[in-house]
Structure 1
Amino acid sequence: MSSLVIRSLRKNYGAHEVLKGVDLEAQEGEFIALVGPSGCGKSTLLSMIAGLETVTSGEIRIGGRLVNSVPPKDRDIAMVFQSYALYPTMTARENITFGMESRGVPKAERDAAVKRVAALLQIEALLGRKPGQLSGGQRQRVAMGRALVRDPKLFLFDEPLSNLDAKLRVEMRTEIKKLHHRVGKTTIYVTHDQVEAMTLASRIAVMHRGELQQFAEPHVTYNRPTNMFVAGFMGSPSMNFIPAQLTRADDRVAVTFPLADGGSAVLPLATDVAAERIGRAVVLGVRPEHLSRYDAEIHARKPGIATLSAPVEVVEPTGAETIAVLRFGALEVVGRFEPDSAPRMGERIRLGVDMTRACLFDPETQRLI
């Protein structure tokens, strides 16, 4: 059964169209991440699901019920905000139970709910403290506790980790994933952080300029992006885009593009999927981790590896890996290397390119071929 169904959803502010006919469906228990750059419409979409923004046209159904005109308090949802939105003069316990008290829930039932949620979030020792006495991560746990005591049909998260430092963000990401597995509620999670989306979501909805670009499982979104926007947005460093031409080489379809030394690279494709486009321009998409220092013994056992040489312009060690900027003709291409095989600045390196993982895009439509 679908917990959330969105059909042809539009939102206008005067003449400005923020959402342009979004269709999205979340199954019972799914974790859906809404991602995209600032201004793409993801937070507006979440606010419309919550009832905080009105619908210009289209439908929102929660648990099969049309909720376009239903007030937020009657939608059976719970929302966790970026800013925590805790009452500073109340203790953590009082913040968690405030909504239940307002609805007239008996004290015994409130106490049982707080006990259950506090154990789930491991905040039993924090219940007597006020928000000013809590760290950012502890405040976010309390905010999540306030949502959990509702036992709603739908959980909505609006960039809940963006105010935390990097280390705490990773820890809280793990906690949210554990929490979802334990509770099993349908969750819609807005984030600008693609790593959060990849690690948390069962499916990712990528948005751009008010339109849904792709809605798929994380591995599909990453490995088979529907267009160049999705390919460039998902992944850090982002996918390399290399203008090229489709040719034939040794009876195989290949991509050809100029190199820095005045020569050309000819990289055979792993399949003949685009054979009908021979002689036409394409854009070759290669992720940084699919470039490696060529090793004849290793790569001979791996099908679909093409080779070329390129000078190294910049090297950026990060500890677990090394990022290198390589020169492909007029283009700078980024590669991600193991520290033991990392290139040196100024070196000319022979590369192995995993063409089984490469993507081809139409330069006019920017869509995946």
Structure 2
Amino acid sequence: MATLAIRDLYKRFGPVEVLKGIDIEARDGEFIALVGPSGCGKSTLLAMIAGLETVTSGQIWIDDRLVNSVAPKDRDIAMVFQSYALYPTMTARQNITFGMESRGVPRAERDQAVRKVAQLLQIEALLNRKPGQLSGGQRQRVAMGRALVRNPKLFLFDEPLSNLDAKLRVDMRTEIKKLHQRVGKTTVYVTHDQVEAMTLASRIAVMHHGSVQQFDVPQRVYSRPANMFVAGFMGSPTMNFLPATLGVRDGDACAEIAADGGTASLPLARRPARVPDSGKVVLGVRPEHLYRYDQDLKARKPTVVPVTASAELVEPTGAETIVALRMGGHDIVGRFDPDAAPQPGETLTLGIDMAHACLFDPDTQLLIADGAA
């Protein structure tokens, strides 16, 4: 197994700066996800780790070895591509063993390695088929088998599930997680799908415009996003953002927001470490932290604060119902249990759970940290 360290990494294509001072470390056996919108630089970063792109400045270390100038074949890595990259005229077995055969690995050793990975990936019955005879999920398993058979220090995945349908993506996501748990190899996984990143990774690097916006464990990236971009990108539906002013009510710090009939004062569950000079903030609330308010909810969740809102659009999805709401002139989205979801046109008392609310600086868009307890 291996560690990976990326230090102050820059990449330029002519005058265009694609990566800007990337600093990421992966511990031995860790699963790191690089996530972000198209064009954020995540695939370029993966290509640089693989040696397929040169480094403009900065360092890439695998274990205690600086690999900036090391050829891809000598980095002891294996890469799984979005397009599978299988040879169409070869069987699955031949695709898996092609690299080993090129390196002169004896036949008996190749056969043993194929048996091992085929059993691990449950593709024993597919070894004599060609890629054209395989489904997308089966081809991706073969591509993973080709990577596994090398027993590399580092696995790199470049959006391996983006060509699959929704159900198969979920199934393959589970298989990749099981695979990582079995083999325990250090893995870097590129995706634009924040659900893949959240479910697979031990830590997530959220990228935007060539920079890492936040690098942390999935739950902290989701619940305490470093800035408004991360807050808006991670989660579907996205976090609600409401302009607010910090104030004091009954001696407690509160966020004052526009609400139907005037202004609502929402007591803060966490006191901010600082207050912008203007007193203005952006209040961030996830859709799942909005509820239909009643006294039973208040007893169970004392940090829930009532406000008035109206339901405009209802989208049943089965296990949950997504509702577009209008509150104080602002559009927000809530995620409700189907039995408690409001109906279109209904005016309701909405409960906002302030225990999970985030405050952002409207000028810098950075999360305002919590103050001392």
Q: Find the aligned partners of 2:274 and 2:11 in 1 and give their Cα distance.
A: 42
Q: Find the aligned partners of 1:15 and 1:271 in 2 and give their Cα distance.
A: 44
Q: Find the aligned partners of 2:32 and 2:107 in 1 and give their Cα distance.
A: 34
Which position in structure 2 is the counterpart of 1:212? 212
Q: CA deviation at 1:303?
A: 2.6
Contact (CA 8 Å) 1:247, 1:279: kept in 2 or not? no
Give the 3-state SS of the residue equivalent to 1:297 in structure 2: helix
Structure 1 residues 305, 189: CA separation in 2 closer, same or farther (over 3 Å shift)? same
Which position in structure 2 is the counterpart of 1:123? 123
Q: Does 1:264 align with 2:295?
A: no
Contact (CA 8 Å) 1:243, 1:282: kept in 2 or not? yes
Which position in structure 1 is the counterpart of 2:35? 35
Opposite residue 348 of structure 2, the aligned amino acid is I
Q: CA deviation at 1:299?
A: 2.2
Opposite residue 87 of structure 1, the aligned amino acid is Y
Which position in structure 2 is the counterpart of 1:273? 272
Opposite residue 358 of structure 1, the aligned amino acid is A
Give the 3-state SS of the residue equivalent to 1:85 in structure 2: coil
Q: TM-score, normalised by structure 2?
A: 0.97
Contact (CA 8 Å) 1:35, 1:190: kept in 2 or not? yes
Give the 3-state SS of the residue equivalent to 2:3 in structure 1: strand
Of the structure 1 ranges 284-293 and 311-320, higher mean CA displacement relative to structure 2 is found in 311-320
Q: CA deviation at 1:279?
A: 6.6
Which position in structure 2 is the counterpart of 1:321? 320
Opposite residue 150 of structure 2, the aligned amino acid is R
Structure 1 residues 73, 275: CA separation in 2 closer, same or farther (over 3 Å shift)? closer
Which position in structure 2 is the counterpart of 1:305? 304
Q: Kindly provide the CA deviation profile for residues 299-324 of structure 1, in whole angstroms up to 9, marking residues without a partner as x.
A: 21323111101011111111111111
Of the structure 1 ranges 311-320 and 276-285, higher mean CA displacement relative to structure 2 is found in 276-285
Contact (CA 8 Å) 2:2, 2:154: kept in 1 or not? no
Contact (CA 8 Å) 1:80, 1:158: kept in 2 or not? yes
Q: CA deviation at 1:273?
A: 2.6
Q: CA deviation at 1:278?
A: 8.7
Which position in structure 1 is the counterpart of 2:286? 287
Q: Find the aligned partners of 2:11 and 2:325 in 1 and give their Cα distance.
A: 44
Q: Find the aligned partners of 1:291 and 1:350 in 2 and give their Cα distance.
A: 10
Q: Find the aligned partners of 1:45 and 1:104 in 2 and give their Cα distance.
A: 31
Q: TM-score, normalised by structure 1?
A: 0.98
Opposite residue 169 of structure 1, the aligned amino acid is R
Opposite residue 213 of structure 1, the aligned amino acid is Q
Identity across the alignment (%): 73
Contact (CA 8 Å) 2:2, 2:186: kept in 1 or not? no
Structure 1 residues 279, 57: CA separation in 2 closer, same or farther (over 3 Å shift)? closer
Q: CA deviation at 1:266?
A: 1.3
Q: Kindly provide the CA deviation profile for residues 265-310 of structure 1, in whole angstroms up to 9, marking residues without a partner as x.
A: 2111113235755970000000000001012113213231111010
Contact (CA 8 Å) 2:290, 2:353: kept in 1 or not? yes
Give the 3-state SS of the residue equivalent to 1:356 in structure 2: helix
Opposite residue 126 of structure 2, the aligned amino acid is L
Of the structure 1 ranges 191-200 and 61-70, higher mean CA displacement relative to structure 2 is found in 61-70
Which position in structure 2 is the counterpart of 1:367? 366
Contact (CA 8 Å) 1:6, 1:23: kept in 2 or not? yes
Structure 1 residues 2, 23: CA separation in 2 closer, same or farther (over 3 Å shift)? farther
Which position in structure 1 is the counterpart of 2:225? 225
Task: Give the number of equivalent residue pairs.
Answer: 368
Q: CA deviation at 1:116?
A: 0.3
Q: Find the aligned partners of 2:294 and 2:273 in 1 and give their Cα distance.
A: 28
Structure 1 residues 346, 7: CA separation in 2 closer, same or farther (over 3 Å shift)? same
Give the 3-state SS of the residue equivalent to 2:300 in structure 1: coil
Q: Find the aligned partners of 2:207 and 2:346 in 1 and give their Cα distance.
A: 40
Unaligned runs of 5+ in 2: 369-373
Q: 1:239-250 to 2 correspondence within 5 Å?
A: 239-250=239-250
Q: 1:163-174 to 2 correspondence within 5 Å?
A: 163-174=163-174
Q: Find the aligned partners of 1:106 and 1:243 in 2 and give their Cα distance.
A: 67
Which position in structure 2 is the counterpart of 1:339? 338
Contact (CA 8 Å) 1:2, 1:64: kept in 2 or not? no
Q: Kindly provide the CA deviation profile for residues 216-267 of structure 1, in whole angstroms up to 9, marking residues without a partner as x.
A: 00001000000000000000000001011001111111111212x3411211
Give the 3-state SS of the residue equivalent to 1:353 in structure 2: strand
Opposite residue 152 of structure 2, the aligned amino acid is P
Give the 3-state SS of the residue equivalent to 2:23 in structure 1: strand
Contact (CA 8 Å) 1:288, 1:335: kept in 2 or not? yes
Q: Find the aligned partners of 1:349 and 1:160 in 2 and give their Cα distance.
A: 44
Q: Kindly provide the CA deviation profile for residues 163-194 of structure 1, in whole angstroms up to 9, marking residues without a partner as x.
A: 00000000000000000000000000000000
CA RMSD of aligned residues (A): 1.2
Give the 3-state SS of the residue equivalent to 2:70 in structure 1: coil
Contact (CA 8 Å) 1:324, 1:334: kept in 2 or not? yes
Which position in structure 2 is the counterpart of 1:109? 109
Unaligned runs of 5+ in 1: none
Q: Find the aligned partners of 1:40 and 1:113 in 2 and give their Cα distance.
A: 37
Contact (CA 8 Å) 1:321, 1:337: kept in 2 or not? yes
Which position in structure 2 is the counterpart of 1:234? 234
Structure 1 residues 94, 57: CA separation in 2 closer, same or farther (over 3 Å shift)? same
Contact (CA 8 Å) 1:312, 1:324: kept in 2 or not? yes
Q: Does 1:153 align with 2:153?
A: yes
